[in-house]
Amino acid sequence: MNTSEFIYLDHAAATPLDDRVLDAMRPYFSDLFYNPSSPYAPAVSIRRDYEAAKQTIAECIGATADELVMTAGATESINLAFGSVNGHVISSAIEHHAVLAATRQHDHTLVDCDERGRIDPQSIRAAIKDDTMLVSIALANNELGTLQPLRDIAEVLRSEREARRVRGNTTPIYLHSDASQGVGQLDVNVARLGVDMMTVNAAKVYGPKQMGLLWAQRHIPLTPHIVGGGQERGLRSGTENVAGTIGFARAMQLADKGRKAEAERLRELRDGLEKRLMGAFKQAVVSGHKKHRLPGHLHISFPSVDAERLIFGLEARGVLVATGSACAANKGTRSHVLTAIGLAPEIADGSLRISLGKLSTIENSAQAGDILIDVINNEIDRMAKR
């Protein structure tokens, strides 16, 4: 995890592989290559390592290993969750495209959020129909960083289950959450979150890409969409990604141990950067929830400025950051999240998403602040001269 010539402010898009994760994975790319399903001793030993890694991951989220299905990333996990229900589903207007696309394959309702990106549990309650089987709300929104009241939503589902029991409606209803964005910074204990299914992506927590999991309570019948040799209890066939799972486990372990301190550290850096930018640009707009927000996340808009120009200007100065909205190449479509929170187009189009993480330090955050202010000022000056 070498720091390069760039200052990386886009941890929400991808996280660098932690050196310790790479070290843990390395032997499984070479000497320990055996198929974990093979009968001889070296392979059996790998099977044990694999199961132990799953056990480690399960402990990190307060679950048991036999409730996990290892997948090739969050999108696959989401597809597995949605593919396992056959009824009405509820999701929100600000979900990630993976959830939105899966939602649209069912009879569905998309609930709105408030202007800070929070979903009101009562709007979920209002959207529930007799055949609603799944509610899927991300733990943290990937653009705004806003955290959702999952416990309260879980409570809505609990009372709905109770009501269904009384009515004799036997349709089950589950709460699924994609916790990928929060896993490095937030508590992802499934019992405390109150979820029935949860998706996690290793690539967002300093683990390998193309590695994810779906956790589902044991009683929930999942429908596999990749069939074959019957791995993962028949729910996800294909030879196990041993190295990936070992790396995922190490990454989860590291996140678990350092989570509190890291969240505090990122919050301080983020708050410092936010304060500087708001101080330098009175017209700037911070979106997302002030309090219920990912600690390393800052969504900030500079009205009437073209954010994509800022991205390229910053890139030339060695700062890598995401546009908080659409780019021109994206057919000019604005972010559905910013539309949902009612951000005016001229504000939305000037949005940057800054997400701090392990590569962020006091020094490079301060430096990034200088460069951001400089590049944004240059752009504002340039526009003023027109």
Q: What is the largest CA-CA distance in the chain?
A: 74
Task: Indicate whether 330 belongs to the interface with another protein (CB under 8 A).
Answer: yes
Q: Of the candidates 313, 324, 350, 369, which one interacts with another protein according to CB under 8 A?
A: 313
Task: Indicate whether 323 belongs to the interface with another protein (CB under 8 A).
Answer: no
Task: Indicate whether 366 belongs to the interface with another protein (CB under 8 A).
Answer: no
Q: What is the distance between the alpha carbons of residues 203 and 205, in angstroms, rounded to a whole number? A: 6
Decide if 229 contacts 239 (C-beta within 8 A): yes
Of the candidates 290, 294, 57, the one whose C-alpha atom is nearest the C-alpha of residue 185 is 294
**Complex with another protein: residue 328 or 344, whichever CB lies closer:** 328
**Complex with another protein: residue 310 or 356, whichever CB lies closer:** 310
Task: Indicate whether 384 belongs to the interface with another protein (CB under 8 A).
Answer: no
Decide if 253 contacts 245 (C-beta within 8 A): no
Close Cβ partners of 355 (under 8 Å, ≥ 6 residues apart)? 9, 10, 11, 12, 13, 145, 294, 296, 297, 298, 322
Return the residues of window 209-238 that contact another protein according to CB under 8 A: none
Q: How far is the CB of 333 from another protein (least distance, A)?
A: 12
Q: What is the distance between the alpha carbons of residues 112 and 3, in angstroms, rounded to a whole number? A: 40
Task: Indicate whether 362 belongs to the interface with another protein (CB under 8 A).
Answer: no
**Complex with another protein: residue 38 or 333, whichever CB lies closer:** 333
Task: Indicate whether 351 belongs to the interface with another protein (CB under 8 A).
Answer: no
Binding residues for another protein, how many (CB under 8 A)?
Answer: 15
Stretch that binds another protein, among 149-157, 216-224, 235-243, 308-316 (CB under 8 A): 308-316
Q: What is the distance between the alpha carbons of residues 141 and 148, in angstroms, rounded to a whole number? A: 8
Q: What is the distance between the alpha carbons of residues 9 and 17, in angstroms, rounded to a whole number? A: 15
Task: Indicate whether 377 belongs to the interface with another protein (CB under 8 A).
Answer: no
Of the candidates 159, 158, 192, 193, the one whose C-alpha atom is nearest the C-alpha of residue 178 is 193
Task: Indicate whether 329 belongs to the interface with another protein (CB under 8 A).
Answer: yes
Q: Of the candidates 88, 96, 108, 309, which one interacts with another protein according to CB under 8 A?
A: 309
In the block, residue with structure tokens 């429908």 = 223
**Complex with another protein: residue 270 or 309, whichever CB lies closer:** 309
Task: Indicate whether 97 belongs to the interface with another protein (CB under 8 A).
Answer: no
Return the residues of window 11-70 that contact another protein according to CB under 8 A: none
Task: Indicate whether 320 belongs to the interface with another protein (CB under 8 A).
Answer: no
Close Cβ partners of 60 (under 8 Å, ≥ 6 residues apart)? 188, 252, 253, 255, 256
In the block, residue with structure tokens 């996280």 = 15
* Active-site amino acid positions: 327
Task: Indicate whether 126 belongs to the interface with another protein (CB under 8 A).
Answer: no
Q: Of the candidates 163, 316, 344, 362, which one interacts with another protein according to CB under 8 A?
A: 316
Which residues of this protein are in contact with another protein, per CB under 8 A? 308-309, 312-313, 315-316, 327-332, 378, 382, 386
